[in-house]
Structure 1
Amino acid sequence: MKKLKTLIFAMLAFVSFGRCSAKEPVQDIKTKRTFTNPVWDGADPWMVKQGEDYIYCWSSNNSINVSRSAKMTKRGEVKKVWQAPSTGWNRACVWAPEIHFIQGRWYVYYAAGESGPPFIHQRTGVLRSATDDVFSDYEDMGVLYTGDNPADPTSNVWAIDMTTLEHKGKLYAIWSGWIKQETTDATQQHLYICEMENPWTMKGKRVKLSSPVESWETGGPLNLNEGPEILKNGDKVFVIYSCRESWLVEYRQGMLQLINPDGNLLDPANWKKSGPVFQGNSQVYGVGHCSFVKSPNDTENWIIYHSKKSTTPGWERDVRIQPFTWNADGTPNFGEAIPAGKSINLPSGEVE
């Protein structure tokens, strides 16, 4: 009996030890499930989640590229969906494309011009996918009218960084533009909104939503409002936008909040401005032009943004991502910009 008890005790100890030992590799794996910023080179990052895929869109060499990946932190299969033509209004300076899934098709909104610098010819164009497959062929739907007299297409006005907002059955475009066409690109930029008849046609006249007037969005050589992006939290609607100068370390993020979701989105008084809501620090310079996605298991919110590679004025930038939370009043809390090289837990549900 004594020997039996000793044997049982030894077996239990072995099983217990085995279970404890089995946990160690799991803990080791968990501690390694991290990444560091930056995730890749580039600027004006646009990412959207569609089902289980992350669709990433960017420009290079006057072309527009799309990537599809199951991971937020790594780009997957890539396809060039559009190349600028050799002639025409959009043959050069292809900037900041965004891809949106609207009414069963993919639409890419991009800025381009006939020449530059100086960058005085920028307008906004739109591409439409042939099917609901993001890698299908794309049709150029032409230039969008972003001026004050829709009856006169020749009166079009400089426009970049267009995004879309679907709200209560209506579609809106929001972008950065000039008050009137100028002969210099050293021109102040404002945010405009217009209802859309369909994803490639404006409906009515534009309305100016925001100008750089607050102390935290002014003070530099050229005050800008640009890069507007939509962020929603339940029935709350926000426009997170970039301000100050994109080539300087002071580049930062401001916010417009829709005051009455049932009210008129074309009434500037229905939008409340606050900021800065996200900015650089001693180790991260000039954060700007964001997009927002959920983690693979939809439990976390993430911001994707670019930052300058150095304090030297210019547009050498890279792409970073980090999680954010919500304040008690439902507004976003982006926290501090996380320095390069610091470990960040992988998005929840992302598999290495």
Structure 2
Amino acid sequence: MKLKIVAFALTLIVSFVRCGESEAVVGDTVKTTFTNPVWDGADPWLTKQGNEYVYCYSANNSIVVSRSIYMTRKGELKRIWQAPATGWNSHSVWAPEIHFVDGRWYVYYAAGSTPGSPFINQRTGVLRSKTADVFSDYEDMGMLYTGDNPSDPQSNVWAIDMTVLEHQGKLFAIWSGWLEQKDTDATPQHLYIQEMENPYTLKGTRVLLSSPQESWETGEPLNLNEGPQILKNGEQVFVVYSCRESWLVEYRQGMLQLNDPDGNLLDPANWTKNGPVFQGNSQVHGVGHCSFVKSPDGAEDWIVYHSKKDANPGWNRDVRMQPFTWNADGTPNFGTAIPAGKEINRPSGEVEIENAE
């Protein structure tokens, strides 16, 4: 009888252990969805290099880079640059972007010589990595001249949000700037384009590419075109940019489409404006300053953007991402901004990567 009781007890123990093992496996199952927001922040710049995602952002007057095998999670972090104590770029470090060009990483960022408002001294600078490793040391390549008279450096003009476009063997810079230098930051912003001699030197003079003129990109109290980003679909080239006021729920995305890829990119007539192509709704308050990446397996296109946390005026923002598709004519279809907390399937290929770890 005692032997039977012991055997029964052992069976219960083994069953309990196996049950616990089964529950542990269930508990460790890789989650196949995520929800927005993915993290706090603004002006998100996410790019894919090989099998890694590189995320670049500003924090405490410095520039930080993350690299991760996942789109939806930051990885290892490194501060690659700290603003100097004095000088033209000692304050207000904004919206850095990192691009891999000709074997090195280049960071384009805006900064100013004075702290706080009015932000009238913002200019654009460039950093260059010393090797192909995104975590390598960086050297400051200086301020870019973004005015109308390159022979007179003192005539430089306010400029932020620079991005670069590689097209048919040439490199172009596109940014948001003022028509002329002003003593107030309540100044309309326009998009400019200029050819580059190399990744840290502009060539020729700037060309006014877009001004806030359409009914959907104008309003009160300030009209803006800013945050230009490049999106390509085969031979088609688009510049998706932010417009309306960045601190209001009306902040949204417009788009320029290159009409003739073999034509002159510096001719504004070779670009057609459409919009809004992506905007907020009753649950998502303004969408702005996006970047674009492919999913880990390359099968999906994703837009990464920031949105306001609430409807109150201000810059309290977080970072979100969602997939998008393409229309029959090859233009992007960004769909509807997905509310915070709603389950979204993780980027295709990401679950498989985590399962393989």
TM-score, normalization by structure 2 = 0.90
SS in 1 for 2:216: helix
SS in 2 for 1:79: strand
State the distance in 1 between where 2:219 and 2:309 align. Answer: 22
User: Which amino acid in structure 1 is aligned with residue 132 of structure 2?
Assistant: D
Tell me how far 1:264 sits from its aligned partner.
0.2
Indicate the residue corresponding to 2:62 in structure 1.
Answer: 63
Q: Deviations over 1:92-148 (max 9, x none)?
A: 000000000001000000000001310000000000000000000000000000000
Alignment of 1:109 with 2:146, yes or no, is no
SS in 2 for 1:265: coil
Alignment of 1:1-352 (within 5 A): 32-115=31-114, 116-351=116-351, 352=354
Q: Deviations over 1:51-80 (max 9, x none)?
A: 000000000100000000000000000000
State the distance in 2 between where 1:75 and 1:225 align. Answer: 29
Q: Deviations over 1:161-219 (max 9, x none)?
A: 00000000000000000000000000000000000000110000000000000000002
Structure 2 residues not aligned, in runs of 5+ = 1-24
TM-score, normalization by structure 1 = 0.91
User: Which amino acid in structure 1 is aligned with residue 50 of structure 2?
Assistant: G
Question: What is the identity percentage for the equivalent residue pairs of Structure 1 and Structure 2?
Answer: 78
Tell me how far 1:29 sits from its aligned partner.
5.7
State the distance in 2 between where 1:114 and 1:310 align. Answer: 31
State the distance in 1 between where 2:29 and 2:200 align. Answer: 48
User: Which amino acid in structure 2 is aligned with residue 121 of structure 1?
Assistant: N
User: Which amino acid in structure 1 is aligned with residue 174 of structure 2?
Assistant: I
- Comparing 247-256 with 108-117, greater Cα deviation is found at 108-117
Tell me how far 1:220 sits from its aligned partner.
1.9
SS in 2 for 1:205: coil
User: Which amino acid in structure 2 is aligned with residue 44 of structure 1?
Assistant: D
The alignment's C-alpha RMSD in Å is: 1.2
Q: Deviations over 1:296-328 (max 9, x none)?
A: 000000000000001100000000000000000
State the distance in 1 between where 2:29 and 2:142 align. Answer: 50
SS in 2 for 1:226: strand
State the distance in 1 between where 2:97 and 2:292 align. Answer: 12
Tell me how far 1:260 sits from its aligned partner.
0.2
User: Which amino acid in structure 2 is aligned with residue 131 of structure 1?
Assistant: T
Please list every run of at least 4 consecutive aligned residues from structure 1 whose deviation after the TM superposition is greater than 4 angstroms. none
Q: Deviations over 1:12-44 (max 9, x none)?
A: xxxxxxxxxxxxx99x968x4000000000000
Aligned length: 326
State the distance in 2 between where 1:179 and 1:29 align. Answer: 55
User: Which amino acid in structure 2 is aligned with residue 268 of structure 1?
Assistant: P
User: Which amino acid in structure 2 is aligned with residue 92 of structure 1?
Assistant: H
State the distance in 2 between where 1:344 and 1:288 align. Answer: 20
SS in 1 for 2:205: strand
Q: Deviations over 1:215-268 (max 9, x none)?
A: 000022001000000000000000000000000000000000000000000000
State the distance in 1 between where 2:219 and 2:153 align. Answer: 35
State the distance in 1 between where 2:202 and 2:34 align. Answer: 42
Structure 1 residues not aligned, in runs of 5+ = 1-24
State the distance in 2 between where 1:106 and 1:49 align. Answer: 12
State the distance in 2 between where 1:272 and 1:304 align. Answer: 23
User: Which amino acid in structure 2 is aligned with residue 235 of structure 1?
Assistant: E
Indicate the residue corresponding to 1:5 in structure 2.
Answer: none
User: Which amino acid in structure 1 is aligned with residue 243 of structure 2?
Assistant: C
